[in-house]
Amino acid sequence: MSESHLVEVLKESRPVFAGNVVRLMVDTVELPNGRQATREVVRHCGAVCVLAVNDEDKVVLVKQFRHPIADVLLEIPAGKLDVEGEAPELCAFRELAEETPYTAQSMTLVQKFYTAPGFCDELMYLYEAGGIAPNSALDTDEDEFVQTVLLSKDEVRQAIRNQTIQDAKTLIALQGWLLG
């Protein structure tokens, strides 16, 4: 069955804000029934996240304060694509080494997903790191403060049950790890 009866057609796109991470657009679209509607759209450069498990079968997580929610979250290492056209795989290597004491010998793409497609076009690439070792010489970004946390599968299950882990990308990655 064709999906053309679901498609909205962009008629106009007006920039409202352009920052370092996102651009905000107000778009006018034509709906499938011919009427027009307004869509507020956040344009994002894309990001990566990394599932890294050490030799003791513990997942590498980071605690980080997140200003929009005014709280500390427990997450897998992640970050935005910093350079226009940066290869997501290279970004994954960099983010793991910047946010944690670990480096990886390989990165395998597990999944790509949209983080909030109702209002944002951010595409996130989930990688699984292979051959990790605690030998990173990279520092975190100057505006980034993180704490590395290692959890076993049982500890992850408990953290999910008691809602210590609330970050979507982390829940996606860890559910796959727990089921694998």
Q: Is 142 a catalytic residue?
A: yes
Domain count, the chain: 2
The mean pLDDT of 155-172, rounded to a whole number, is 97
- 8 A C-beta contact, residue 96 and residue 51: no
Do 51 and 26 share a structural domain? no
> pTM (2 decimals)?
0.93
Do 59 and 94 share a structural domain? yes
pLDDT per position as a tens digit, 83-102: 778 999 999 999 999 999 99
Amino acid symbol at 117:
P
pLDDT cut 70: percent of the chain above it: 99
Do 86 and 104 share a structural domain? yes
Of 141, 153, 51, the C-alpha closest to 102 is 51
Spatial distance between the Cα atoms of 122 and 140, rounded to a whole number of angstroms: 22
The mean pLDDT of 52-76, rounded to a whole number, is 97
Residue of 3, 56, 84, 142 marked active site:
142
pLDDT per position as a tens digit, 37-61: 999 999 999 999 999 999 999 999 9
Question: Does any domain span residue 125?
Answer: no
Do 31 and 93 share a structural domain? no
